[in-house]
Amino acid sequence: MLIINNLKASIGGKSILKGISLEVKPGEIHAIMGPNGSGKSTLAAVLAGREFVEVTEGTVTYFGKNLLEMAAEDRAKEGIFLGFQYPIEIPGVSMVNFMKTAVNEHRKHKGLDPLSASDFLKLMRDKKELVEIDSKLANRSVNEGFSGGEKKKNEIFQMAMLDPKLAILDETDSGLDIDALRIVANGVNKLKHPDNSFIVITHYQRLLDYIIPDVVHVLYDGRIVKTAGKELALELEEKGYDWIKKEIENNVEA
């Protein structure tokens, strides 16, 4: 589904990603962990198509296509979804209008007619229930005045509405209390099916108590320095990141 090969990227001339290779197959959940400043969010930004990140080397292939040549909106319509670490507040734009426009853009891309008003509202209702989001939130402006937890739940709600093939969740767990964390994780688990994949970016292991990854990668200083099964997350939780840092430094010295 997604093949990243030796990806290097910089922001404002500063090199952030220093050669990342990664393959995600349909149905897999990949967790990307790592200390602050290791490049996790930059990787998410590159995949979603943010223009301020400059790709200097490497390739990203998504279902056989060159992802890096696609506009952000086209990536979305091809099934990529980014759950934002800091969802944006957009006063004056209602959630309903926002989602209706997005869903119908996706449908147009697939050659389908726009949803009727009643079908759309039914879809909203179903997905709200699925992700346990407060009904009232959908009547407000996009993220305006939402609490941190509500914003993150709203990301999961949008994901449910758009039914992506590859969802990248950028620190969706940060700032969540345990109830909100559970709701977010349940949402992911309910939306999981054999054909779609997730890249879950997280700083802490606790989200992975609820979302069980197939593969765990550790990103450090712009490189993936370790890849293993879900047990790696537990080891990181227990020992922190220092032992990995040391391991790398030792390797460099040696």
Partner 1 sequence: MNGKSEITEKYLDLYKDNITKISGVSSPFINSFRAPALKKFSELGIPSKKDEAYKYTNLNVFFDHDYESYFMPLPSDFAEAEKFRCEVTNLDTHGIVLLNGFYPTVNEKLRQLPSGVWIGSLSEAAVRFKDIFEKHFGKYARSETDGLVHLNTAMASDGVFVYIPEGVTLNKPVQVVNLVQAGNDIFNQHRNLIIAEKNSNFSIIICDHTLSPQKFLTNSVTEIFVGENAHFDIIRVQNEHNNACKITNTFIHQEKNSVTSSNNITLHGGLIRNSTYHYLGGEGAESYSYGLFLADKWQHIDNFVNVDHAFPHCTSNQLFKGVLDDMSTGAFNGRILVRQDAQGTLAYQRNNNILLTDDAKMDSKPQLEIYADDVKCSHGATVGQLNDDALFYLQSRGINKREAKLMLMFGFAHEVIQNIKIEPLRERMDNLVMQRLKGELSRCASCMVKCG
Q: Least distance in Å: CB of 238 to partner 1?
A: 35
User: Alpha-carbon distance 55 to 9, whole Å?
Assistant: 4
Least Å distance between CB 247 and partner 1? 36
Q: CB-wise, 166 or 232, nearer to partner 1?
A: 166
Tokens of residue 7, six digits: 């990806």
Question: In three state form, how does the secondary structure of 66-131 look?
Answer: EHHHCCHHHHHHCCEEEECCCCCCEEEEEHHHHHHHHHHHHHHHCCCCCCCHHHHHHHHHHHHHHH
Tokens describing residue 165: 């093939």
What residues form DSSP beta bridges with 169?
A: 83, 200
Q: Please, what is the minimum distance in Å from the beta carbon of residue 102 to partner 1?
A: 4
User: Does residue 2 contact residue 23 with C-beta atoms inside 8 Å?
Assistant: yes
Nearer to partner 1, 81 or 220 (CB): 81
Residue 97 vs 147, nearer CB to partner 1: 97
Contacting positions for partner 1 (CB under 8 A): 48-51, 71-73, 75-77, 81-82, 84, 87-88, 90-93, 97-98, 101-102, 105-106, 109, 141-142, 158, 162
| Nearest residue (CB) to partner 1, 74 versus 209 | 74
Distance in Å, CB of 49 to partner 1, minimum:
7
